[in-house]
A = this chain, B = another copy of it.
Amino acid sequence: MPQLGLLHGRAWASLLGQLLRPPRAVCMGAVHSHSQVAEAVLMSQLKSHQEKSNFIIKTPKGTRDLSPQQMVVREKILDMVVSCFKRHGAKGLDTPAFELKEVLTEKYGEDSGLIYDLQDQGGELLSLRYDLTVPFARYLAMNKVKKMKRYHVGKVWRRESPTIVQGRYREFCQCDFDIAGQFDPMIPDAECLKIMCEILSGLQLGDFLVKVNDRRILDGMFAVCGVPESKFHAICSSIDKLDKMSWKDVRHEMVAKKGLAPEVADRIGDYVQCHGGVSLVEQMFQDPRLSQNKQALEGLGDLKLLFEYLTLLGIAEKISFDLSLARGLDYYTGVIYEAVLLPTPAQTEEEPLNVGSVAAGGRYDGLVGMFDPKGHKVPCVGLSIGVERIFSIVEQRMKTFGEKIRTTETQVFVASPQKNFLQERLKLIAELWDAGIKAELLYKNNPKLLTQLHYCENMGIPLVVIIGEQELKEGVVKLRSVASREEVAIKRENLVAEIQKRLSES
């Protein structure tokens, strides 16, 4: 079969194009002789067979669809998160999925390689947004907004090696809350931490801890340990990996890959093992080396004030000052934080290390100024909830407990035990829809009553309205409770009111 050989030589994409063309395209164009047409049909069948077996239908690497079950879980979690943001007076904002490429340039340090670029199809060079923070800063600068408390729920995209099991994807949803503006120190910062605690407590994900540090303390620490200033960002990125890698491996990266002197790395090692409450802040004030550094002292002073506010807000015991917390992103300038779920005693044995960050954020006072033609600064502080990780946890928990999720909200089903009643069913359901009642029927002319009742049980629909010849004659309908199987006859004109009454009681 020479045709087959010919086919092998063609590019897969072009074959695919043919596969996806509607069948009628085969016979398009000029008139063929009978044998030519037959050959074309044969060719097409051969191609079709081969292409279809080659064509694997999937979502792009690192992405996924959310099924109706997952959507219900997601909606509940997002509602809870957004209602907390609104409780703290935030306004909504939305920005495009992509930005001018230059807007994202030089904002993400070592992670910049993970940005998705759009193809140059003529016109501007564009990239998919990598987070919601840089677009927010761009919005503030572009509109000369000096003060704003906003939330934003949206997808972001990062070309990471996806390890799906841990709930990390290349496309994922972020829920951000940020406070922009010049205010008295640490009040907005404390509110951000309060919001993180409210959300994590509200979602009942188990015990959690919020690690806090300050970029100025980190920079001060690097300086007093002897890190050259040119290596601050690179070493900061290494430190950021301490939640995924052991100190030994991070030290190796700093020394072997980033050219840090071993004794400098060891000095850093002494600091990054420190974590504790406000007493550790006091202790660091006394640290002979750190207390000599102006930046570090500023950071420590702010942390001390922050802890005072956190105590007033009732969340100080959830917060831990942790010198190993670095946060990879370039744009942070002050306090930084990251919430982690604490393992249950059972988990501690299984996977003693990383339980994963579920929320994070910090202060970024310079980012807006990078977009302003005159460099005018708008100080900002904010947080991002890692909802994908939270989705996985809640999903897993529901599976474990075998919870059944309703994926529709239908309240009433319209049924008939008799043939040729589609017309009456349609008239009836239109009345219900027009009254705002959530209702369904089967898209069949003559469905069996049992099939209709089974549908209600499977879908968890609580009420059934049944209409047949007898009811039609008497001007009534039967209203049936699916759970109790009780049926009562109700005057047609009272049906909507009766349904609304029953629904408000349940």
Contacts and interface: CB of A to CB of B under 8 A. Distances in A.
A105 B55 CA distance: 13
A-B pairs with the 7 shortest C-beta distances? A183-B443, A71-B92, A68-B91, A63-B96, A66-B94, A28-B230, A89-B440
A317 to B, nearest CB: 14
A350 B68 CA distance: 46
Interface string A194-233: 1000100000000000000000000000000000011000
A173 to B, nearest CB: 9
Interface of A: 13, 16-17, 19-22, 24, 27-29, 52-53, 55, 57-61, 63-68, 70-72, 74-75, 86-100, 102-103, 105-107, 116-121, 123-126, 128, 138-139, 141-142, 149-150, 155, 157, 159, 171, 179, 181, 183-184, 187-188, 190-191, 194, 198, 229-230, 309, 312-314, 330, 366, 370-371, 373-375, 407-410, 422-423, 426-427, 430, 433-434, 436-440, 443-445
A144 B205 CA distance: 34
Question: Which residue among A75, A373, A445 has the maximum number of chain B CB atoms within 10 Å of its CB?
Answer: A373
A291 B206 CA distance: 70
A71 B434 CA distance: 28
19 contacts: A22-B330, A28-B229, A52-B375, A55-B373, A57-B103, A57-B138, A57-B373, A71-B91, A75-B92, A88-B440, A89-B410, A91-B407, A91-B408, A98-B171, A179-B443, A181-B443, A194-B433, A312-B427, A312-B430
A184 B443 CA distance: 6
B105 A20 contact: yes
Contacts of A89: 408, 410, 438-440
Nearest to A446: B184
Contacts of A183: 443-444
Given A53-B373, A55-B102, A433-B194, A117 B121 contact: yes
A140 to B, nearest CB: 10
A120 B119 contact: yes
Given A230-B28, A408-B90, A430 B313 contact: yes
Contacts of A65: 93-96, 139, 142
Contacts of A230: 28-29
A434 to B, nearest CB: 7
A131 to B, nearest CB: 15
B422 A187 contact: yes
A107 B86 CA distance: 41
A61 to B, nearest CB: 6
Nearest to A114: B121
B52 A66 contact: no
Contacts of A94: 65-66, 70-71, 74
Contacts of A371: 57
A188 to B, nearest CB: 5
A16 to B, nearest CB: 5
Contact of A22 (B21, B59, B97, B366): B366
A68 B443 contact: no
B312 A63 contact: no
Nearest to A406: B91
B194 A430 contact: yes
